[in-house]
Chains A and B, each alone.
Chain A
Amino acid sequence: MNDWALILYCGLITFFTRFSMIALLKKEMFNDRIREVLSYVPSAIFPAIIFPAIFLDNSGFLQFENNPKILASIIAIIIGTLSKNIIATIVAGLAVYWFLIFI
């Protein structure tokens, strides 16, 4: 598949998840139980992107020593939990990361 076909397919699947929610899904189709479980989707899927990006090096090996991303992420989590602010979380994490690699 070339790059453009890939982009198009990703666009179609993104569009149709939204379209199905707007045009097809009805309130009765989801009971409280399904809705409750679906509310955990972000917690279930985002860590699958977050953790490997923090703990694995470029060749896919675990990297605990000399890894400034770990401390930076911990600080970001603390700031995020206290402030509940998206921007503050990103800025805190990047600031700590840059501090550790440049100083």
Chain B
Amino acid sequence: MKSNLNVFFKGVIDVSPLMIPVVPFGLIFGVLAIDIGFTPFETMGMSLIIFGGASQIVLLQLFSGGASSLVIVSSVGAVNSRHLLYGAVVSEHVSDLKLIWKIVISYFLIDQAFARSNEYLKRNKEKNNYFHLIGGGATCWIVWQTTTFLGIILGAAIPDKLGLSFAVPLTFLALLVNDFRKLINVIVIIISGLVATFGFNYIPYKAYVIVAALVGLFVAMILTKMIKKYE
């Protein structure tokens, strides 16, 4: 059996290549948060307490649009609901762990770390394989905190004219690159986008993110069902 430290570093090495896109994402977050008017402490606090790129960007976006706290928190919840998908897969590998490890892994586990560790966990059944999750998670954590910090420092130096806020939709667009070739995904993307755009001024309480997501999921449900029928 490999030592705990070995498995930990295997996690670090496996996750590292996936950190390349996280670097600009973290920088953009730091820059934007300062731009919107959060203090450097609050900005760092968001990365330390929330530790989730999509959650933090949604928080910024809705906060700057003047949404209420309740809408912001529930929108963050909606964005995170994609994590439930992973539940079935990862829980079986960690079901025997102590609660404290489950808490640590829950805090650390972002999409990138999850994807790599899941491959490792499938192939390795040793008792200490959860150190892979911790190694991958710790790597993500260090990269995210460092880039947030750099973003905070750069934020003061970057002029508004650069239009860095455009990097937000671009980053989310980039997260969907694997879905552009699938017809149902494209339909869902367009419908959700249109609902959000046209509902932006009319859906009360800035709840357009949640409403658009629900409509999009409903459409996905109908389309996937229809396709089964005609197959």
**B4 on the A face (CB < 8 A):** no
**A13 on the B face (CB < 8 A):** yes
Report A-chain residues with C-beta under 8 Å of the C-beta of B76. 10, 13-14
In the complex the two chains form, is B193's CB within 8 Å of A94's CB? no
**B140 on the A face (CB < 8 A):** no
Report A-chain residues with C-beta under 8 Å of the C-beta of B230. none
Cβ of A70 to closest chain B Cβ, rounded Å: 11
Cβ of A80 to closest chain B Cβ, rounded Å: 4
**B172 on the A face (CB < 8 A):** yes
Q: Mark B8-20, 1 if CB is under 8 A from A, else 0.
A: 0000000000001
Report A-chain residues with C-beta under 8 Å of the C-beta of B197. 51-52, 55-56, 62
In the complex the two chains form, is B21's CB within 8 Å of A7's CB? no
In the complex the two chains form, is B173's CB within 8 Å of A77's CB? yes
Cβ of B196 to closest chain A Cβ, rounded Å: 4
- Interface majority SS on A: helix, strand, loop or mixed? helix
In the complex the two chains form, is A45's CB within 8 Å of B209's CB? yes
Cβ of B87 to closest chain A Cβ, rounded Å: 3
How many residue pairs between the two chains, A and B, have CB atoms under 8 Å in the bound complex?
262
Q: Which of A28-71 contact B (CB under 8 A)?
A: 29-30, 35-56, 60, 62, 69
Cβ of B215 to closest chain A Cβ, rounded Å: 8
**B61 on the A face (CB < 8 A):** yes
* A side interface size, CB within 8 A: 69
In the complex the two chains form, is B102's CB within 8 Å of A14's CB? no
Report B-chain residues with C-beta under 8 Å of the C-beta of A1. 69
Report B-chain residues with C-beta under 8 Å of the C-beta of A39. 85
Assembly CA distance A45 to B102 (angstroms): 27
Report A-chain residues with C-beta under 8 Å of the C-beta of B217. 37, 40-41, 44
- Interface majority SS on B: helix, strand, loop or mixed? helix
In the complex the two chains form, is A47's CB within 8 Å of B193's CB? yes
In the complex the two chains form, is A20's CB within 8 Å of B84's CB? yes
Assembly CA distance A40 to B201 (angstroms): 25
Assembly CA distance A93 to B169 (angstroms): 10
Closest-by-CB residue of A relative to B92 is A27
In the complex the two chains form, is A14's CB within 8 Å of B52's CB? yes
Assembly CA distance A77 to B201 (angstroms): 26
- Among A49, A76, A87, the most chain B Cβ lie within 10 Å of the Cβ of A49
Q: Which of A29, A37, A51, A56 contacts B221 (CB 8 A)?
A: A37
**A103 on the B face (CB < 8 A):** no
Which residues of B line the A interface, CB within 8 A? 20-21, 24, 38, 42, 45-46, 49-52, 54-59, 61, 63, 69, 72-73, 76-92, 94, 99, 102-103, 105-107, 109, 162-163, 165-181, 184-185, 188-190, 192-197, 200-201, 208-209, 212-217, 219-221, 224
6 nearest CB pairs, A to B? A44-B216, A25-B87, A51-B193, A21-B87, A47-B193, A48-B212
Instruction: Jot down 21 A-B pairs with beta carbons below 8 A, ordered by A.
Output: A6-B69, A11-B51, A13-B77, A14-B50, A22-B87, A23-B99, A26-B91, A43-B192, A45-B79, A45-B192, A46-B54, A48-B193, A50-B169, A62-B197, A80-B177, A86-B175, A87-B20, A87-B24, A89-B170, A90-B24, A98-B163
